[in-house]
């Protein structure tokens, strides 16, 4: 079991959360607190960089959906980047690959011109 680490950084497009370790029942509340503490401006992109995500269970998927809902409520958008194969498979199986915008990496996503 890997501890969850969340690193927040800014980009031209909006905040980027780099999520590493295990996102599960025990650690999902930590990501929820981080997401709930974000103030997003209309038109910004909240990018969740999952390159370091080692494990994600249904609690983790639920917080990803909650983060998307928060972004939409604030007039922003949310995208996932560098989604590991095992998590991408789960998203595909439950049909969430059509709900989330998914990018192969963060660099091309955060280098676009902000709205």
CATH number at 24 reads 3.30.750.24
Q: Per the domain annotation, does 91 fall within a domain?
A: yes
Q: Per the domain annotation, does 62 fall within a domain?
A: yes
Query: Any bridge partners for residue 102, and if so which?
Result: 80
Number of domains forming the structure of the chain: 1
pLDDT in tens, the chain (115 residues): 789 999 999 999 999 999 999 999 999 999 999 999 998 999 999 999 999 999 999 999 999 999 999 999 999 999 999 999 999 999 999 999 999 999 998 876 666 544 4
Q: Per the domain annotation, does 20 fall within a domain?
A: yes
Pairing of strands 77-81, 5-11: unpaired
Q: Per the domain annotation, does 115 fall within a domain?
A: no
Domain region containing 14: 5-110
The model's pTM is 0.91
State residue 108's pLDDT score. 66
Sequence length of the chain is 115
Q: Per the domain annotation, does 69 fall within a domain?
A: yes
State residue 105's pLDDT score. 86
Q: Per the domain annotation, does 14 fall within a domain?
A: yes
């Amino acid at each position: 079991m890997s501890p969850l680490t969340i690193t927040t950084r800014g980009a031209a497009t909006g905040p980027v959360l780099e999520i590493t370790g295990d996102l599960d029942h025990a650690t999902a509340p930590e990501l929820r607190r981080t997401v709930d503490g974000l103030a997003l401006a209309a038109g910004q992109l909240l990018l969740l960089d999952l390159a370091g995500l080692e494990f994600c269970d249904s609690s983790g998927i639920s917080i990803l959906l909650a983060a998307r809902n928060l972004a939409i409520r604030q007039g922003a958008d949310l995208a996932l980047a560098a989604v590991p194969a095992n998590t991408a498979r789960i998203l595909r199986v439950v049909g969430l690959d059509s709900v989330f915008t998914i990018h192969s990496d963060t660099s091309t996503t955060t280098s676009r011109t902000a709205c």
